[in-house]
Structure 1
Amino acid sequence: MKLLALVGLSIVIAGCSSGTPESSQPAASAPAAAPPAPTSRVFFVEPTDGATVKSPVLLRFGAESFSIMAVPAGEVTAVRAGMGHHHVGVDIDCLPPGTEIPKADPWVHFGTGGAEMAPGMQLTPGPHKLTLQIGDDKHMTIAGLCQTINVTVAQ
């Protein structure tokens, strides 16, 4: 039994030794890397860009390669990577990445993780720009997760 333990220990020590010269043969090629994950994006399902709509306007949102979740209850001390929630701005452009989305007009927050505003958003007749932007748990914008569409509200 002692002999077996001694042989095993010798093998472990020999395997950890750096005294063996490196092989001069080229390393086997690694398998091809998996293609990158699709780019995350956020978009309006309804209405579509250029649509003529009636008020109240039903808003439905979608997201790809990104998790839409409710903001955690209580004080948020850290953001969860790869997660956020929707915000809609009326007649405003996308905010720069890393900007806190105001909790006031013209922005509406969907902090419960919802993907729809029903019965809809009241808008005055005429042309409007609608901006859908993702915010993290601290309501900070995330690069690339914003879409702006134009709609016309019928009289």
Structure 2
Amino acid sequence: MNKKHFAVGVVAVLLAACKPAAPAVTVTITGPAEGDTVRAAEVLITLSVSGIELAPVAEQRAGTAHHHLYLDTDFPALDSPIPAGQANIVHLGQAQTEYLWQGVSPGPHRIIAVLADPAHVPLKPYVTDTVNIVVVSPAPPPPADSVPR
């Protein structure tokens, strides 16, 4: 075999071995935005993902994910399922991309979104997004006698 044929063979093997890189998996908290002030005790959180399909946990399909939200709670590096039954951790197991967090007290808050597999184990590498917001009490309604009739 001459050098030219060898070089062509090497290039062919290298090209065959090259696979397009899988798109990076990301999660984004699309609302509220970083630093937003929210005038309510209810905070509507909206989410988006790329690079992976969202699916309900009940389907138990490999290669899919669903959201978890942490409110004012650190996300520990986990190799096990995200804990259930905790007030500040919400599992969005129906592949939801919105959650209305009710009863959020006035003050600064941190929201962390985490993607997990159907067994609630965080994806590796960890796929998270964080926003910090401030919740303020809504303005009181005007007095009844000041409303035009």
Normalised by the shorter chain, which TM-score bucket?
A: 0.7 to 0.9
Asked if 2 retains the 8 angstrom alpha-carbon contact of 1:41 and 1:146, the reply is yes
Query: Secondary structure of 1:141's partner?
Result: coil
Query: How far 1:43 sits from its partner (Å)?
Result: 1.2
TM-score, length-scaled by structure 1: 0.72
Gaps of 5+ in 2: 138-149
Corresponding residue for residue 130 of structure 1: 111
Query: How far 1:123 sits from its partner (Å)?
Result: 0.7
Task: Pick one of 40, 63, 67 that aligns with 1:82.
Answer: 63
Aligned-partner Cα distance in 2 for 1:128–1:92? 10
Corresponding residue for residue 8 of structure 1: none
Corresponding residue for residue 34 of structure 2: 49
Residues 67-107 of structure 1: per-residue CA shift (max 9 Å, x gap): 1110126xxxxx53321111111101223142321112211
Residues 32-71 of structure 1: pairs in structure 2 closer than 5 A: 33=18, 35-55=20-40, 56-71=42-57
Asked if 2 retains the 8 angstrom alpha-carbon contact of 1:95 and 1:141, the reply is no
Gaps of 5+ in 1: 1-22, 74-78
| Structure with greater helix percent | 2
Query: How far 1:35 sits from its partner (Å)?
Result: 4.4
Query: How far 1:141 sits from its partner (Å)?
Result: 1.1
Aligned-partner Cα distance in 2 for 1:97–1:26? 48
Higher Cα Rg, which structure: 1
TM-score, length-scaled by structure 2: 0.75
RMSD: 2.0
Aligned-partner Cα distance in 2 for 1:58–1:97? 26
